[in-house]
Amino acid sequence: MEQKDFFAEATESQRYKITEVIGKGSYGIVASEKVAIKKITNVFDHVSDATRILREIKLLRLLRHPDIVEIKHIMLPPSMHDFKDIYVVFELMETDLHQVIKANDDLTPEHHQFFLYQMLRGLKYIHSAKVFHRDLKPKNILANSDCKLKICDFGLARPAFNDMPQTVFWTDYVATRWYRAPELCGSFFTKYTPAIDIWSIGCIFAEILLGKPLFPGRNVVHQLELITDLLGTPAQEVIAKVRNEKARRFLLNMRKKPGTSFEAYFPKADKGALKLLRRLLAFDPAERPTSEEALADPYFHGLSQPSREPSAQPVSKLAFEFERRKLNVDEVRDLIYRETLEYHPQMLADYMAGGRRQPNFVYPSAVDNFKRQFAHLEAGGRGQDKHLGQATSLPRERVRDFQSEAAKYMSRGAHHMSGVVGATAYGAAPAYSNSVDMEDASKAIEMLGSSVEKMSVMDAANGYPTTTA
């Protein structure tokens, strides 16, 4: 090993200096200067959480695209066998789409178009890799003041292999209800498609147009009621496709609704935007366009160019073999350590050459230094009282040159990526009660079947209301 390579690793602790803590999310704390460092503590207290973290860092390494956040570095743990914390380095993004929507009641048609274009372009890349995101929502779309968006938070994402049992694929599906496709609200099918992500993008786009959530359901039954209020009662041939008998009966017994005119519901929206929105929000998933088809919609005339909308190679089955079995703590720790080594080439070479043995000498780690810096800031050090993650206004002067802005970003290579995993780290959690209204949950279960039970309980645990009040 060359001397310069060793000292490149040895100075890792001087490579970053933490200046402030900018937020806490479900799975970590984020600090920032020119990069954002996500501190994830006690990773292995729960194997399910550790597996989610493993899945996310692996997917973000494999999915390199301008509209997806990039992990720039992962700190080397002091020991491969008993480490507890992980420090993941991202390029800093300023805010998330949830905050942008809150702060801007005068977004222009150019904003609308450019936002949707970037989300669909990123989703095309994800789906072409045979991955479902499964948790798209405004807080999982990071944003900068130059209107650049990046998809983040792949903790619920899954590679979709044809031979993977659907029971494995959907067992832990508990994504935010407001952006959940109707077929998932009612457990309509035993097999699902990337159309679930297309529905979520449609809900996000509608929220951009409205300035508020489109379907803020209190439970899955109320969610379906809101959806059918806008779209109308689904046709008989659509209901006939529903495999879940209770869900099918629920839809058949629903009072007939004509639906609401999109032009009336979104009075200020561009007509082309509404035509595409209708397609994205088709009740029948078979009628929704793919992300590639949506990018070819006339709404994006002059902006969309297939040569700037790359596809990915499908992710390897071997890379996600761990999804097919139940991991124990030691196994998931080994897999996370192995993933960390992807950002430390010399250590990876030693690890591969020596099998699973510890390297011949101890490589220096920045983790202890970072622990001290985080502890200082969280105890009241500089930056403690600064409340970042506030709603961020977009500069009005940027509107006139959106086309050049789009061209600039689309012409960049895949190495021009940024973001912070988990947009929830930038904003406060919704001010909703975490309690579960069991009577209301029982009503949903009775109407739609027991498969909605876990979703209802998890909705409440994640801070979304489940009461009928």
- Mean pLDDT to the nearest integer, 158-185: 70
| Domain ranges (residues) in the chain | 1-103+131-161+317-426
Band of pLDDT at residue 455, cut at 50, 70 and 90: very low
Q: What is the pTM of this model?
A: 0.75
Tokens at 118, concatenated: 């970037």
SS3 of 90, please? strand
Q: Given this model, what pLDDT does residue 126 score?
A: 98
Across all residues in the chain, what is the average pLDDT? 77
pLDDT class of 352 with cuts at 50, 70, 90: confident
Q: Is the pLDDT of residue 421 over 70?
A: no
- pLDDT attached to residue 331: 95
Nearest to 265 by CA among 305, 314, 226: 226
> Class of 1-103+131-161+317-426 per CATH?
alpha beta
State how far the alpha carbon of 32 is from the alpha carbons of 80, 87, 148, 383, in Å: 26, 12, 19, 10
CB 54 within 8 A of CB 155: no
Q: Is 463's pLDDT higher than 50?
A: no
**Secondary structure (3-state) at 423:** helix
pLDDT (0 to 100) of residue 409: 43
Higher pLDDT, 330 or 454: 330
pLDDT interval class at 189 (50, 70, 90): confident
Highest mean pLDDT among 81-90, 153-162, 198-207 belongs to: 198-207
* Active-site residue list: 135
Contact call for residues 341 and 57 (beta carbons, < 8 A)? no
Q: What is the mean pLDDT of residues 129-156?
A: 94
- What are the pLDDT digits (tens) for 370-403? 566 666 666 666 544 443 344 444 544 444 444 4
Q: With pLDDT > 90 as the criterion, what percentage of the chain qualifies?
A: 51
The token duo for 327 is 């991991």
Joined tokens for residue 240: 């006939």
Mean pLDDT of 172-181: 76
How far is residue 443's CA from residue 319's CA, in Å, rounded to a whole number? 41
**Is the pLDDT score of 79 beyond 90?**
no
Count of Cβ atoms closer than 10 Å to residue 387 Cβ:
8
Average pLDDT rounded to a whole number, residues 336-352: 91
What amino acid is encoded at 457 in this protein?
Answer: V
Give the span between the Cα atoms of 12 and 26, in whole angstroms.
Answer: 27
How many C-beta neighbours within 10 Å does residue 336 have?
Answer: 24
Distance (Å, whole) CA 74 – CA 37: 9
**Per-residue model confidence (pLDDT) at position 367:** 59
pLDDT of residue 447: 58
